[in-house]
Structure 1
Amino acid sequence: MTERDDIVRRLQALEPLIRKLCGICGVPGVSLGVVLSGDVIFRLNLGYRNLETSAATDSDTVYPIGTIAKTFTASAIGILVSEGKLSWNTLIRDILPEFRSRDLTISQNLTVLDLLCHRGGLARSNQWWQGAGGELLQEKRQTIPFYSTLEPVGTFRSDWAYSNWGYAILGEVIERASGLRYGDFLSKRIFQPLELDCTTTAEPVAANKHNVAKPYAALDDATLHPLPQPPVHGNAIMVPAMGISSSLNDLCKYAIALLHAQRTECRGGNTSHLVLQNAKTHLAGHIFTAQGTMEKSYACGFYRSQLPSTVMGMGWNSIYVKKMPTIIPRGHCGPLIAHGGSLPGYHSAIALLPELEAGVVVCTNSIGLGDASGWISMALVEALIDSPNPTDFTQYATEAAIGHVNSVPALQDKLRKAKRSSMFVPPRPLSQYTGRYRDADRDWVIDIRHRDAGHLEVLFQGLESQVWPLTYYEDDTFLWLTERNEQARRGRMTTYPQGDVFKLIFMGNGSLIDRVCWPQEPGLAKEKQCFTKEETAQ
Structure 2
Amino acid sequence: MGSADRSAARRTGARRVVAALLGATLATSAFATQPDPKLDAIVDTVAARYHLAGVAVGVIDHGKVVYMRTKGERRAGTGEAIDENTLFKIASNSKAMTSTLLARLVQEGKLHWDDPVRKYLPSFRMNDPWVTEHMQVGDLLTHRSGLREGAGDLMLWPEPNAFTRQDILHGLAYLKPAYSFRAGYAYDNLLYVIAGEVAAAAGHDSYDKLLRRELFEPLGLSRCQIGPWNRDAVGNVAQPHAYEDGHNVVLNADDAIVPDITSAAAGGVRCSLDDMLTWARNWLVPTPAQLAWLTPAQRQTVWTPYTPMPISKHRREWDGTRFYAYGYGWRLADVDGQFTVSHTGTLSGMYSAMVLLPNRQSGFVVLINSEAEDARTVLIETLTKHFTAPADPHDANWYADKLDADTAAPEHKAPEPVTQPATVKELATQLGQWRDPWFGTITLCPRDGAVRFTSAKSPRLVGTVMRAGQRYLVHWDKGEVDAWMDFPARAGEAMHMSKVDPKADFSNDFEDLAFHREHGCE
* TM-score, normalised relative to structure 2: 0.81
Shift of 1:366: 1.4
Aligned to 1:306: 334
Q: Which residue of 1 aligns with 2:498?
A: 519
SS at match of 1:294: coil
CA distance in 1 between partners of 2:203 and 2:209 (Å):
10
Which structure 2 segments of 5+ residues have no match? 1-32
The alpha-carbon deviation at position 450 of structure 1 amounts to 3.4
| Runs of 5+ unmatched residues, structure 1 | 1-7, 309-331, 493-497
The 1:428/1:336 distance shift into structure 2, 3 A limit, reads: farther
Tell me the residue number matched to 2:11: none
Q: 1:458 to 1:425 in 2, by over 3 A?
A: closer
Query: 1:216 corresponds to which letter in structure 2?
Result: H
Residues 526 and 39 (structure 1 numbering): CA distance in 2 closer, same or farther, change over 3 Å?
closer
In structure 2, distance between residues paired with 1:278 and 1:445:
43
Q: Which amino acid aligns with 1:217?
A: A
Return closer, same or farther for 1:270/1:423 CA change in 2, 3 Å cut-off: closer
**Is residue 285 of structure 2 the alignment partner of residue 290 of structure 1?**
no
Matched, 1:343 2:347: yes
> Match for residue 140 of structure 1?
165
For residues 468-487 of structure 1, what are the structure 2 equivalents within 5 Å? Answer: 468-475=463-470, 477-481=471-475
Query: Does residue 1:196 correspond to 2:221, yes or no?
Result: yes
Q: CA separation in 2, counterparts of 1:410 and 1:448?
A: 35
Contact 2:107–2:294 (CA under 8 A) maintained in structure 1: no
Aligned partners of 1:271 and 1:277 also within 8 Å: no
Secondary structure in structure 1 of the residue aligned to 2:498: coil
Among 385, 392, 397, the alignment partner of 1:394 is 397
**2:454 corresponding residue in structure 1:** 459
**Aligned pair partner of 1:430 in 427, 431, 449:** 427
TM-fit CA distance, 1:25: 2.3
Cα–Cα, structure 1 residues 305 and 341, in superposed 2: closer, same or farther, change >3 Å?
Answer: same
Tell which deviates more after alignment, 424-433 or 198-207: 424-433
* Alignment partner, residue 251 of structure 2: 227
Residue 40 of structure 2 corresponds to 15
2:485 corresponds, among 482, 491, 504, to 504
Name 2:154's counterpart in structure 1. Answer: 128
Please tell me whether the aligned partners of residues 201 and 243 of structure 1 are also in contact (alpha carbons under 8 angstroms): yes
Closer/same/farther in 2, CA of residues 247 and 424 from structure 1, 3 Å limit: closer
User: What is the rounded CA distance, in whole Å, between the counterparts of 2:420 and 2:370 in structure 1?
Assistant: 40
2:350 paired with 1:358: no
Distance in 2 (alpha carbons) for counterparts of 1:169 and 1:447: 29
> Structure 1 residues 399, 437: closer, same or farther in 2, change over 3 A?
farther
Structure 2 counterpart of 1:303, which letter?
R
Q: Which runs of 4+ in 1 moved over 6 A?
A: 230-233, 401-404, 422-428, 525-528
How many Å apart are 1:381 and its aligned residue? 1.4
Q: Given that residues 183 and 200 in structure 1 are in contact (C-alpha distance below 8 angstroms), is that contact kept between their aligned partners in structure 2? A: no
Shift of 1:461: 3.0
Amino acid at match of 1:257: N
Contact 2:492 2:516 (C-alpha < 8 Å) held by counterparts: no
Distance 1:252 1:176 in 2: 30
Residues 285 and 304, structure 1, Cα contact 8 Å, conserved in 2: yes
SS in 1 for 2:466: strand
CA shift, 1:137, in A, is 4.2
Q: Is the 8 A contact 2:121 2:198 kept in 1?
A: yes
Matched, 1:381 2:375: no
Letter aligned with residue 201 of structure 1? I
Residue aligning to 1:372: 375
Shift in Å at residue 125 of structure 1? 2.3
For 2:181 and 2:459, locate their aligned partners in 1 and report how far apart those are by CA, in whole Å.
38
User: Alignment identity in percent?
Assistant: 23
Alignment-derived partner of residue 446 in structure 2:
450
State the SS of the aligned residue for 1:436.
strand
TM-score under structure 1 length normalisation? 0.78
- Give the superposition deviation at 1:243: 0.5
One-letter amino acid of the counterpart of residue 168, structure 1: V
Aligned length: 473
1:534 paired to 2:518: yes
Q: Is the CA contact 1:78–1:277 (under 8 Å) kept in the aligned structure 2?
A: no
RMSD: 3.6
CA distance in 2, matches of 1:108, 1:180: 25
SS at match of 1:507: coil
Equivalent position SS for 1:163: coil
The CA distance in 1 between the partners of 2:127 and 2:416, in whole Å, is 36
Instruction: Read off the aligned partner of 2:327 and give its amino acid letter.
Output: A
Instruction: Give SS of 1:192's match.
Output: helix
